Structure 1
Amino acid sequence: MCKKEVYLGIDTSCYTTSVALLDKAGSLAGEARRILQVKAGCRGLQQSEMVFQHTRNLPELMEEACSSSFEIIGIGVSARPRPLEDSYMPAFLVGLGLARSLAAVSEIPLWQISHQENHLEAGLWSAQGPDTDRFLLLHASGGTTDLLLAAKRADGTYELTQVGGSKDLHAGQFIDRIGVAMGLPFPAGSAVEQLAATAKGFIELPVSVRQGDVSLSGPATAAMRKLEAGAEPAALAAGVQYALAETFVRMIRNVAAQKEVFDVLLVGGVASNAYIRSHMIEKLAKRRIKVWIPESRFSPDNAAGCAAYARRQGEGSHE
């Protein structure tokens, strides 16, 4: 019996261990991921703890994802945070080490990309677009709030140029600070979204946008003051969502007009928030800016992008 040929993706980010398998046609054949454990009341992990948890998680996730009979014919892995020469983080060495070992033993090709490029590839694969060679990429997460201009190269890779983003606090950090202060678990994104859904209205917070540059420390400070003053948690959670959504809209609107680019792909954990997505789609449509959104589970950290990139390279498919 012939085994199904698949491409393996591995991503060991700051707070998620993940593996994914795509077949030669680009369909998801298997996937497993696990969020790293953070003690209650804390807002993060040391790199050494991330490395330990990734090392512990990967064998179990590989066993789960490969429960069927597969033949791995290529591997894609996140080797660093961003596509820059000096970009480095120990957590990614865990996935890279396993990928290199598997590739060497099995004598199959290995393609290394950055975590940010993994998000791009996962978004493109899941959203099936943008169907243009030049578009904006909003990467909003706990460790990144970047607006990038993505330009496709002849070899199918993308040149990413930062054209906007936060100058201080990241979007996910904003959410986590308020969420943890409310007693919600870290990472707090999903809990804040669920709490906000119960609100009858939202508490207005300041929005600071200048061209492509944004500041989130001011809105976060304002939110903390309102919470300390006894603000209703659900309404404040809704206010955090609104402030972030409106910040993204204004930033994208400014840069889109300046760069004459009218397609934007949303990726990252914060970009999976349903309210933020709907607000952005509605507001940006008025400026004829099309928003491309991957399935919500492929917007946060996941390994599907690494597998998708390996599949595109392996199949010679640069469409």
Structure 2
Amino acid sequence: MPEGALEIDRVSKRYGDVVALDEMSLTVHGGEMLGFVGSNGAGKTTTMRIALGVLAADSGEVRYDGAPVDRTTRSRIGYMPEERGLYPKMKVSEQLQYLGELHGLPRADAVRSANRWTERLGLAERREDQLQKLSLGNQQRVQLAAALVHDPSVLILDEPFSGLDPVAVEVMSTVLREMRDQGVPVVFSSHQLELVQRLCDRVGIVRRGSMVADGTVEELRSSGPTRLTVHAPEAPADWAEGLPGVTVESRENGRTALRLDDTADDQRVLRAALATGPVHEFSRERPSLTELFRDVVTEETDE
């Protein structure tokens, strides 16, 4: 498979007075998985639909492998919408074959691909069932098969893990890793941030239609606020109050959780703790992706 990059370059979209996207930019390279996260209404689905050509952008450009995305390029994109979009009364095998042919596969190739993906995703025994007779989790697997049946060069998935049990999550995670390892740019949105942190090479956090943070999980965690846990059992309750750049977040059983901004000196914090007596723990923690996301949402609410 090709290893071109999918680029969304300063894309904007308005609906009357409502700004859905404000110069949204992101790049997903071949062989890379990007997690696209943000609160509801932040612009994730709109971005994906513009990349697919379902919506037209007011300005900006979508490119694949350096060239503007056109109808031919879009036929090479595998897309999994958040809303199930398949035919409920159609048999699983028939609609996967049909979708493969719509993407340009010869019928025999579409049949082989449909059989391969139903086998791979644990649906072989349900091929002749109508979609509506499957559980919601299995319907989600069929949606993934529909996105993969034409051997796509780009994979875009909107909340692919929604409603899946742990076994199905692991199956889907493995398939997405395999596609990435074959050189496919993979981008998916999700509210399951622990899963995003575990799977993705990079994460983009979107707020109010713009990308506000983009980088590897480690880069984003390193850029977030530093937290310290200090266990000083003999320290008074207010021992850390007034230290420059330090915010006391909680205190329980002699353990104090502190948040440090860029001006804080952790060695000064340590000296202040030692001045109260023995210090049994002094540990630095980096924020999780969930904490970073919460900070972004809080900032949005404050604004």
TM-score between the two structures when normalised by the length of structure 1: 0.29
- Highest CA radius of gyration, 1 or 2? 2
Determine which structure has the larger helix proportion and give its number: 1
Point out which structure has higher relative CO (alpha carbons under 8 A, 6+ apart).
1
